[in-house]
Amino acid sequence: MYEFDYQRPASLADAVSALQSAEDGQLLAGGHTLLPTLKQRLARPSDLIDISSIGELRGIAVDGDTITVGATTTHAEVEGSEAVRSAIPALADLAGMIGDPQVRHRGTIGGSIANNDPAADYPGAVLGLGATVVTNKREITADDFFLGLFETALAEDEIITAVRFSKPEKACYMKFAQPASRFSLVGAFVAKTSGGVRVAVTGAGQEGVFRVTEMEAALDANFSADAIANIAVPDDNLNSDIHGSAEYRAHLIGVMAKRAIAGCG
What's 140's domain CATH number? Answer: 3.30.465.10
Residues 204 and 110 in one domain: yes
Q: How do residues 94-132 score in pLDDT, each as one tens digit? A: 999 998 899 999 999 999 999 999 999 999 999 999 999
Residues 112 and 68 in one domain: yes
Residues 185 and 90 in one domain: yes
- pLDDT the model gives residue 178: 87
As for how many domains the chain has, the answer is 2
Instruction: Look at residue 10 and tell me whether its pLDDT is greater than 80.
Output: yes
Residues 251 and 142 in one domain: yes
Residues 120 and 146 in one domain: yes
Q: How do residues 58-78 score in pLDDT, each as one tens digit? A: 999 999 999 999 999 999 999
Residue type, 259: R
Residues 17 and 37 in one domain: yes
265 — pLDDT class (breaks 50, 70, 90):
low
- pLDDT the model gives residue 43: 87
Question: 107 with 78: CB under 8 angstroms?
Answer: no
The residue out of 31, 50, 69 marking a domain boundary is 50
- pLDDT the model gives residue 98: 94
Instruction: Look at residue 31 and tell me whether its pLDDT is greater than 90.
Output: no
Residues 46 and 74 in one domain: no
Residues 121 and 34 in one domain: no
Q: How do residues 186-196 score in pLDDT, each as one tens digit? A: 999 999 999 99
Q: Compute CA distances 3 → 29, 154, 160, whole Å.
A: 19, 26, 26
The CATH number of the domain where 23 resides is what?
3.30.43.10
Residues 133 and 12 in one domain: no
What's the predicted TM-score (pTM) here? 0.95
**Residue 156: exposure state from Cβ atoms within 10 A (0-12, 13-18, ≥19):** exposed
- pLDDT the model gives residue 136: 96
Q: Compute CA distances 72 → 56, 99, 160, 255, whole Å.
A: 9, 17, 9, 33
Q: Which domain holds residue 68?
A: 58-263
Residues 212 and 160 in one domain: yes
Residues 195 and 78 in one domain: yes
- pLDDT the model gives residue 180: 83
Q: How do residues 200-247 score in pLDDT, each as one tens digit? A: 999 999 999 999 999 999 999 999 999 999 999 999 999 999 999 999
Question: 244 with 253: CB under 8 angstroms?
Answer: no
Give the whole-angstrom CA distance, residue 113 versus residue 110.
6
Residues 45 and 62 in one domain: no
Q: What is the dihedral of CA 144, 140, 201, 110, to 10 degrees?
A: 140
Give the whole-angstrom CA distance, residue 192 versus residue 141.
17
